[in-house]
Amino acid sequence: MNGPDTRVAAETADDAPLEEEFEVAVRRQPPWRMTVRRLFRHRLFLMGLGLCSVILVAGLLAQVIAPLDPTKLAMRFKFRAPGADGYLFGTDNFGRSLWSRVVWGAQLSLYIGSSVVALNAVFGTLIGASAGYFRRIDNALMRINDALMAFPAILLAIAITAVLGPSTFNAILALSIVYIPRTARIVRASVIVLREMEYVQAAVAAGAGHWRILRRHILPNAMAPLIVQLSFLFAYAVLAEATLSFLGMGAVPPTPTWGNIMAEGRQYLVEAPWIITIPGIALMITVMGLNLLGDGLRDVLDPRLRIQQ
């Protein structure tokens, strides 16, 4: 729920350039093919992929596999236990099908998680690369960064959604604001190291522009730690969104998100424990899958980081 422990990663990424591996890879075959082959030999990555696929398929096909409207009330059928009256996962206090709600919730969780990741990829790179490359603005940017990171993550997210009002979009925004400083730091750390590399200095000497140097020489080589960071970030974002929804600060009900379902089921904890248990397990599977994917990516893309995780 809190930020990934990027501090550790960031600090040691200083002396972990990846250019050797990259150069070798370029010569022999497209690097992605080799990476993919290595990923598919990685046991944990495959397990993660399996878990994530289950959720992904459920999310993508929600409309097909759960045709019952997740917000449709059926008061006569409230509190059905899983399996009763044809409700696979049972019903909640409004008689709504939990199967529909959990499956549609998967869709929303994935949507929010991937949006946060996308925003982080764009703005984290932008801010991190600028700070790392242009030392003049580094100090100012990093002070703001440090300030944002000094807040306990979930409290900052709560305060931001309190400002913006609860909605799916605002939850994405709040979580992005919370996590972008962390992503930016990782990118910055790689950029600082890469900027001093000989081949970059050579490009500078050859008169290449800043934009070209960043795009051609620095960013591609800073990708590996970023991708690893983003895969863990996905897990944190899904978890944090559920926490926000659970506290009533996420997507607006009756929109089914896992956090919303659990928040509503909370008062029926004793009598209808399935209302909180089922989305809780779904959430766990997703986060675990993403963490395993992240482990795999880290091992393959960025082996030096392994030490720290």
Partner 1 sequence: MARTGWTSYGLAASMTLALALGSTSALAAPFKCPKVGGDFVFGQEANVNSLDQMTSTTISTRNVAMNIFEALMSRDESNKPITDLAESVTESPDGLVYTFKLRQGIKFHNGKPMTSADVVASWQRYKEKAIERQILDNVAAWTAPDAATFVVTLKKRQPTFMEFISSFSQPIVIVPAEFKDDAPQQLHTVGTGPWELVEFLPGSHVKLKRYDGYVPNTKYEERTGFGGYKQACFDTVTFRIVTEAGARVAGLRTGELQGVEDLPFVSVADLKKDPKITILPLENWWVHIASANNSQPPTDNVKFRQAVMALLDMDEIMEAATDGNYKLNVGFQYPHQATYSSAGKETYNQKNPAKAKALLAEAKYNGEPVVLLTNKDYTSMYNAAVVMAEQMKAIGIKAELKVVDWPTSVQMQGAASPSPGWNYFFTGYGTQPALGALAVMNFFMGSNPNYKPKPGHEDPVLKAEWANMNEKVDPKERFAAFERMQARILDQALVLPFGSLTKVQGVRANVKGYKPFRIPRFSNVWFE
Partner 2 sequence: MWGVVLRSILGAIPVLLIVSLITFGMMRLIPGDPSAVIGGLSATAEQLAQIRRELGLDEPLAVQLVKWYAGLLQGNLGRSLLMGQDVLEVTMIRLPVTIALALYALVLTLGLGMVSGILAALRQNTAIDQLAMVFAMVGISVPNFFLGLLMILLFAVKLGWLPTGGYIPLWEDPVGWLRTSTMPALSLALLQMGLLARITRSTMLEVLRQDYIRTARAKGLPRRLVVVKHALTNALIPITTVVGIIISLSISGAVVTESLFSLPGMGQLLTQAVLNRDYPMVQGGLLLTTTFLVLVNIFIDITYALLDPRVRYERA
What does the binding site for partner 1 look like in residue numbers (CB under 8 A)?
71-73, 75, 79, 93-94, 162, 165-166, 248, 252-254, 263, 266-272
> Residue 252's binding partner, choosing from partner 1, partner 2, none, with beta-carbon cut-off 5 to 8 A by kind?
partner 1
- Closest approach, Cβ 63 to partner 2, in A, equals 27
Report the interhelical angle of 135-150 vs 168-195 (nearest 10°). 140
Nearer to partner 1 by Cβ, of 172 and 184: the residue is 172
- Using DSSP, how many helices (H) and how many strands (E) does the chain show? 15, 0
Q: Which does 22 bind (CB under 5 to 8 A by kind): partner 2, partner 1, none?
A: none
What is the token pair recorded at 111? 């949507």
State the binding partner of 93 from partner 2, partner 1, none, CB within 5 to 8 A by kind. partner 1
Segment 112-131, which members bind partner 2 (CB under 8 A)?
A: none
Q: Six-digit token pair at 34?
A: 């080799």
Q: Does 213 bind partner 2 (CB under 8 A)?
A: no
Query: Which residues 36-55 are close enough to bind partner 2 by CB under 8 A?
Result: none
Residue 135 binds to partner 2 (criterion: CB under 8 A): no
Q: Does 14 bind partner 2 (CB under 8 A)?
A: yes
Q: Scanning residues 245 to 284, which ones bind partner 2 (CB under 8 A)?
A: 246-247, 262, 266, 269-270, 273, 276-277, 280, 283-284
- List, as one string, the DSSP characters of 106-162: HHHHHHHHHHHHHHIIIIIHHHHHHHHH-HHHHHHHHHHHHHHHHS-HHHHHHHHHH
- Cross-strand pairs, 91: 97
Q: Which residues contact 157 (CB under 8 A, 6 or more apart)?
A: 174, 175, 177, 178, 240, 244, 249
For position 11 contacting partner 2 by CB under 8 A, the verdict is: yes
Is 69 a binding residue for partner 2 by CB under 8 A? The answer is no
Tell me, what DSSP letter sits at residue 80?
P
Whether residue 82 is preceded by a cis peptide bond, meaning omega within 30 degrees of 0, is: no
Eight-state DSSP code of residue 91: B
Residue 267: name its binding partner from partner 2, partner 1, none (Cβ under 5 to 8 Å by kind): partner 1
| Contact window for partner 2 (CB under 8 A) among 53-61, 77-85, 101-109, 160-168 | 160-168
- Indicate the residue among 119 and 153 with the shorter CB distance to partner 2: 153
Which partner in partner 1, partner 2, none is near 114 (CB below 5 to 8 A by kind)? none
- Residue 133 tokens read as 């490359």
One residue of 155, 212, 215, 216 binding partner 2 per CB under 8 A: 155
Burial zone of 14 (CB within 10 Å; 0-12 exposed, 13-18 middle, 19+ buried): exposed
HEC string of 207-273 equals CCCHHHHHHHHHHHHHHHHHHHHHHHHHHHHHHHHHHHHHCCCCCCCCCCCHHHHHHHHHHHCCCCC
- Rank residues 17 and 253 by Cβ distance to partner 1 and give the closer one: 253
What tokens does 224 get? Answer: 């590996």
Q: Which residues bind partner 2 (CB under 8 A)?
A: 1-2, 5, 7-8, 11, 14, 139, 143-144, 146-148, 150-155, 158-160, 162-163, 165, 235, 239, 242-243, 246-247, 262, 266, 269-270, 273, 276-277, 280, 283-284, 287-288, 291-292, 306-309
